[in-house]
């Protein structure tokens, strides 16, 4: 028998997803069988509906599983070495340093955030980044602190205005550049073209403008490496971006920084964020 108390970060999850997150090695078919066998109780009532929506404080008891839950205790020595720009009950905004990997390394930003929260996976939800910045791109990145927030943000395609500051020889007045973008397997990078060349090509639309002698890019779509690939296509790669055509020497970083975020069109529990803007200055 295993007993759990649903945390506030679990609120709104389907029960089958909640259980699957706690027992990661357990096949989904086995979990469905537990429902059919009436082996799951919530608040002392047997539950057969796998789509039951978990609420904060629910007492969940599971019978018939010998596996141990996939609890993870994160190393508190992973110190968050990037500045916190804003935090509330739902989101965390961080000014990520250039050179920090968001995910996949032992001291990646994800693990630093888990350590900052003194996070122990006693809930089925882990704080999750919304969007991602490349290793050598610095600036604002957001984490959702609970399941409802993550779901709301993932279902809203135009909730966030993102503006980047960068260094390049490109000198636009104020223009929107539209290209088609695809992943080139041979070059192992994204490639931008004027016309659609592959069935899976995606439109990438970026506004470029200058202000106070600085070059900015505003995303209207969210394609991988969109700004980098577009500027290589235009013939003005970002300084330091050797992967996308830069010949700049003597630098270890890509001069691209997510400088501004503005929230729009959010509803329900996140409506309070609408109109809020957050900025962090580039450090170069």
Which amino acids are annotated catalytic? 134
Task: Please say whether the beta carbons of 1 and 135 come within 8 A.
Answer: no
Strand boundaries in 26-153, DSSP class E? 40-42, 45-46, 59-62, 83-87, 91-96, 128-130, 138-144
The DSSP H or E segment spanning 226 is helix 226-234
Question: How far apart are the C-alpha atoms of 177 and 230, rounded to whole Å?
Answer: 8
Beta-strand pair 138-144/128-130: antiparallel
Question: How far apart are the C-alpha atoms of 99 and 86, rounded to whole Å?
Answer: 21
Task: Please say whether the beta carbons of 140 and 93 come within 8 A.
Answer: yes
Q: What is the DSSP letter of 26?
A: S
Residues 6+ positions from 196 with CB-CB distance below 8 Å: 180
Going by C-alpha positions, the residue among 41, 31, 30 that lies closest to residue 5 is 41
Task: Please say whether the beta carbons of 256 and 164 come within 8 A.
Answer: yes
């Amino acid at each position: 028998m295993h007993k759990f108390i649903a945390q506030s970060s679990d609120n709104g999850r389907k029960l089958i997803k909640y259980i699957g997150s706690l027992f990661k090695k357990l096949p989904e078919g086995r979990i469905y069988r537990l429902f059919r066998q009436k082996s799951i109780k919530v608040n002392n009532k047997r539950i057969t509906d796998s789509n039951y929506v978990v609420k904060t404080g629910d007492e969940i008891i599971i019978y018939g599983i010998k596996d141990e839950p996939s609890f993870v205790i994160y190393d508190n020595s992973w110190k968050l070495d990037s500045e916190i720009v804003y935090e509330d009950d739902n989101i965390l905004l961080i000014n990520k340093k250039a050179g920090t990997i968001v995910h996949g390394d032992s001291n990646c930003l994800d693990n630093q955030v888990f350590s900052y929260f003194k996070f122990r996976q006693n809930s089925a939800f882990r704080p999750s980044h919304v969007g991602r910045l490349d290793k050598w791109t610095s600036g604002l990145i957001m984490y959702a602190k609970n399941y409802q927030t993550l779901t709301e943000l993932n279902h809203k395609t135009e909730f966030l205005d993102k503006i980047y500051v960068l260094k390049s020889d490109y000198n636009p007045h104020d223009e929107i550049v539209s290209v088609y973008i695809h992943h080139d397997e041979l070059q192992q990078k994204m490639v931008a073209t004027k016309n659609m060349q592959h069935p899976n090509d995606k439109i990438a639309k970026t506004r470029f403008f200058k202000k106070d002698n600085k070059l900015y890019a505003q995303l209207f779509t969210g394609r991988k490496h969109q700004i980098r690939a577009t500027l290589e296509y235009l013939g003005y790669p970002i300084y330091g971006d050797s992967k996308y055509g830069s010949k700049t020497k003597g630098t270890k970083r890509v001069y691209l920084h997510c400088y501004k975020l503005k929230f729009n069109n959010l509803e329900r529990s996140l409506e309070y964020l609408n109109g809020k803007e957050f900025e962090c200055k580039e450090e170069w």
